[in-house]
Homo-oligomer: A and B are copies of this chain.
Amino acid sequence: MNIPISENPRVVIVGGGFAGISLAKHLLKEKLQVVLLDRNNYHTFQPLLYQVSTSGLEPDSIAYPLRKITRHSKDGYFRLAEVQQIVPEENLIKTSIGDLSYDYLVLATGSKTNFFGNESIEEHGMWMKTIPQALNIRSLILENLEQAVITEDPVKRKALLNFVVAGAGPTGVELCGAIAEVRNHIVPRDFRDLDTNEIQIHLIEGLDRVLPPMSEKASEKAYKFLKELGVEIHLNTMVQEYNGETVTTNKEGLNFKTATFIWAAGVAGAPVEGLNASAVVDKADRYEVNVFNQVTGYENIFAIGDIALMRNEKYPKGHPMVAQPAIQQGRNLAKNIKRLLKKEELVPFEYNDKGTMATVGRNKAVVDLGKMRFGGFFAWFLWMFIHLYFLVGFRNRIVTFFNWIYNYVNYDKASRLIIRPFKSNKKNLEVDQKKV
Residue ranges of A at the interface with B (Cβ–Cβ < 8 Å): 1-2, 4, 40-42, 58-61, 63, 65, 67-68, 71, 77, 79-80, 97-98, 131-132, 135, 142-143, 146, 149-152, 189-193, 393-396, 398-399, 402-403, 406, 414-420, 425, 428-429, 431-432
Contacts and interface: CB of A to CB of B under 8 A. Distances in A.
Contact of A418 (B1, B40, B402): B40
A282 to B, nearest CB: 33
8 contacts: A2-B149, A41-B417, A42-B419, A68-B190, A77-B193, A98-B150, A394-B406, A395-B406
Nearest to A418: B41
Q: So how many copies of this chain end up in the complex?
A: 2
A162 B338 CA distance: 41
A387 B318 CA distance: 53
Contacts of A79: 146, 149-150
Nearest to A407: B395
A246 to B, nearest CB: 25
Given A142-B41, A429-B428, A63 B419 contact: yes
Contacts of A131: 419
A35 to B, nearest CB: 11
B135 A63 contact: no
A418 B132 CA distance: 10
Most chain B beta carbons < 10 A, residue from A68, A135, A415, A419: A419
Nearest to A39: B421
A415 B59 CA distance: 10
A416 B191 contact: no
Given A395-B406, A403-B395, A150 B429 contact: no
Contacts of A63: 417, 419
4 interchain residue pairs of minimum CB distance:
A58-B60, A428-B428, A67-B190, A80-B146
B58 A61 contact: yes
Given A132-B420, A399-B403, 16 more contacts: A1-B150, A2-B149, A40-B417, A41-B142, A42-B419, A58-B59, A60-B414, A60-B415, A65-B190, A67-B190, A71-B190, A80-B146, A135-B419, A395-B403, A402-B402, A420-B432
Given A71-B190, A152-B2, A416 B77 contact: no
B420 A67 contact: no
Nearest to A4: B193
Contacts of A415: 60
Contacts of A191: 67
